[in-house]
Amino acid sequence: MVTKCAVDEQFVPKVGMIFKTLEEARKFYKYYSKLASFSTKIRNTTQEGVNIKNQLIVYSREARWKSKISPTLNTNPSVGINCPARIYIHILKDVGLWTISNVILNHSHPCYPNRTEMFKQHRELSMFLQHTIETNEEAGIRPSKTYQSFVAAADSHQELSFIEKDVRNYITRDVRNVFEQDDAKEFGKYLLRMKEKNQNFFFELNLEGDH
């Protein structure tokens, strides 16, 4: 089965396209892959000294392997198939620009636009969203409620660039870590104030890893 994903023509990579930098070319293909509902990875990079000459970017699950999950239960039908989708970029040495010299748009699996959020590569939290999550966490609002407020504001979860798990992970990994650090700083200041008031005041801190 050969499939071409329906994407606005202006965002479809074509041979001969020119980019100022390699990063610009990568971002262009990454955005296309998001619209086409797949994720990418760099498979090969050729260098000349420390300078990159060309790069091959492919579908992140291009390798062929057999899934142990029954087809009727598999929630990710693009896993375990040999997808040819790829893009080849190289530098034009005389002008220092980057161009697409080869591109394959065909996929060996159906495109699922409503499953883009399943690909971690395309999930992100903006600074505004992070600030909102931090504020809600400090106010004691549950992560599920915070996520649902984002869904309501966007009219649909499909319009969001993240899933509820990302909100929970951000709270666990970043927000609570900041709170804990702030609490530790305040406690440290308290101990120092006590020491200034009473020179006989003694305290001992049990640092992590010294239990």
Task: Indicate whether 2 belongs to any domain.
Answer: no
pLDDT tens digit sequence for 56-100: 998 876 554 444 544 444 444 445 457 788 999 999 999 999 999
**How far is Cα 79 from Cα 109, in angstroms, rounded to an integer?**
9
Task: Indicate whether 64 belongs to any domain.
Answer: yes
The verdict on 111 and 159 lying in the same domain is no
Task: Indicate whether 22 belongs to any domain.
Answer: yes
Given a contact cutoff of 8 angstroms between Cβ atoms, the answer to whether 98 and 15 are in contact is no
The verdict on 165 and 187 lying in the same domain is yes
Predicted local confidence at residue 69, as pLDDT: 47
Over 60: is that where the pLDDT of 38 sits? yes
Instruction: Look at the pTM and tell me if it is higher than 0.85.
Output: no
Answer with the one of 91, 122, 153 that is the final residue of a domain: 122
The verdict on 61 and 156 lying in the same domain is no
What's the total number of domains in the chain? 2
The verdict on 92 and 169 lying in the same domain is no
The verdict on 93 and 193 lying in the same domain is no
Both structure tokens of 131:
């600030």
The residue segments making up the domain with residue 78 are: 9-122
Long-range Cβ pairs for the range 185-190 (8 Å, 24+) = none
Task: Indicate whether 206 belongs to any domain.
Answer: no
Answer with the one of 59, 89, 122 that is the final residue of a domain: 122
Task: Indicate whether 146 belongs to any domain.
Answer: yes
Task: Indicate whether 29 belongs to any domain.
Answer: yes
pLDDT tens digit sequence for 93-135: 999 999 999 999 887 767 665 555 555 655 667 788 888 888 8
The verdict on 75 and 172 lying in the same domain is no
The verdict on 32 and 86 lying in the same domain is yes
Report the 10 Å Cβ neighbour count for 134: 16
Report the 10 Å Cβ neighbour count for 201: 12
The verdict on 60 and 139 lying in the same domain is no
SS3 per residue for 93-108: CCCCEEEEEEEECCEC
Task: Name the band, by pLDDT with cuts 50, 70 and 90, for residue 3.
Answer: low
The verdict on 113 and 157 lying in the same domain is no
The verdict on 118 and 30 lying in the same domain is yes
Burial class (CB in 10 A: 0-12, 13-18, 19+), 34: buried
Task: Name beta bridge partners: 99.
Answer: 18, 90
The verdict on 14 and 93 lying in the same domain is yes
The verdict on 51 and 83 lying in the same domain is yes
pLDDT tens digit sequence for 146-199: 888 888 887 776 666 677 888 888 887 765 565 566 565 655 655 566 567 566
Task: Indicate whether 179 belongs to any domain.
Answer: yes
Answer with the one of 122, 146, 170 that is the final residue of a domain: 122
Task: Indicate whether 205 belongs to any domain.
Answer: no
